Amino acid sequence: MHELTLTRPDDWHTHLRDGAALATTVPHTARQFARAIVMPNLAPPVTTLEQADAYRERICAHIPGGTAFTPLMTLYLTDATTPETIIAAAASGRIAAVKLYPAGATTHSSAGVTALEKVYPALAAMEEADLPLLVHGEVTDDDVDVFDREKVFIERCLEPLTVKFPALRIVFEHITTADAVDFVHAAPRTVAATITPQHLLFNRNALLVGGVHPHHYCLPVLKRERHRRALREAATSGHPRFFLGTDSAPHERRRKESACGCAGIYSAHAALELYAGVFEEAGALDRLEGFCALHGAAFYRLPVNTNRVRLVREPWQVPDSYELGDGRVIPLCAGATLNWRLVHEH
């Protein structure tokens, strides 16, 4: 197969950042995706409808002319989020979901939730208003190994949540383990998961063999090969509750190549092309459209996009870096040759 046309896809999990970074992230994301769920972990976090509205306007100012792109805004859940805030957000129609970061789990999560019980009133309001909950599924306990934090989160937090709030739609974001795949398979239809390109492409050797590779460091951290295989199987299986979420999370090069490097991998420059390579390897190109453009829309209860994108099998080389604010970002697969290229939309 040398050419593919697909319904224009959506990215159900991205970090566009703010300020000058938007000049890079927004055109990259809008080139491929019709819509994107925009993470609210700015500093300070986006916790109110007014902040989300202002952030949307800053994003929209960077959409290239002639490109149709809709940022789907989210709120950052904190211990102090009130049911009133949730009700107003849902009623506005301008908030697509609410994001739960366990406090301290990842970049800009210090304002996150310190104990699930503290957000029960907000979660009850979300369940009632049918506003989806997006979770960063890792515990933060010092005594839990970083490679086990997702598995332990499932047992301690996620399973109980699905029991306590049976009608709450939950997206288990950027899953990284076979345990998470199994959980989604067994979970009620209210639970779905996103999968990133890096967790489909790499295992933890890419982070740690032959030296430490900070541009392969993200959270949840890359896992063993057996987990990568389970993720590839889930993504390419056609199961409707697994869908695309890049977790593209740019940090300036100097903040990654550091004694305490930031977590986050930038993939907005080539996400669809990277996923296409994975599906091709799995002999599942016929399922790429479901994963990229159909399953997420159905779960979010949004219309499927009506325009299309075209991918051609034409090798191209990923640049070594891109501008990001007044620095540079090293993208996923920097310098590598990718087989699929997004050429055009209609």
Question: Which residues lie near ligand NCD (CB under 6 A)?
Answer: 15, 41, 106-108, 136, 218-219, 247, 249, 263-264
Q: Which does 134 bind (CB under 5 to 8 A by kind): Zn ion, ligand NCD, none?
A: none
264 or 290, CB closer to ligand NCD? 264
Q: Is 98 helix (H, G, I), strand (E, B) or coil?
A: strand
Alpha helices (runs of H) in 39-139, residue ranges in sequence order:
49-60, 83-92, 120-129
Q: Which does 106 bind (CB under 5 to 8 A by kind): ligand NCD, Zn ion, none?
A: ligand NCD
Q: Could you give the angle at the alpha carbon of 281 between the alpha carbons of 276 and 286, nearest 5°?
A: 55
Cβ neighbours of residue 137 under 8 Å, at least 6 residues apart? 150, 153, 154, 157, 158, 172, 173, 175, 180, 220
Instruction: Select the residue whose beta carbon is closest to ligand NCD and give its number.
Output: 264
Give least dist CB 41 to ligand NCD, A.
5
Q: Which does 123 bind (CB under 5 to 8 A by kind): ligand NCD, Zn ion, none?
A: none
Give least dist CB 286 to ligand NCD, A.
30
d(CA 140, CA 103): 7
d(CA 255, CA 233): 33
Give least dist CB 248 to ligand NCD, A.
9
Q: Is 299 helix (H, G, I), strand (E, B) or coil?
A: helix
Name the catalytic one among 247, 286, 320, 326. 247
244 or 284, CB closer to Zn ion? 244
Residues within the interface to Zn ion (CB under 5 A): 247
Active site residue 320: no
Give least dist CB 198 to Zn ion, A.
12
9 or 250, CB closer to Zn ion? 250
Q: Is 54 helix (H, G, I), strand (E, B) or coil?
A: helix
d(CA 209, CA 129): 47
Q: Which does 219 bind (CB under 5 to 8 A by kind): ligand NCD, Zn ion, none?
A: ligand NCD
Catalytic residues: 247
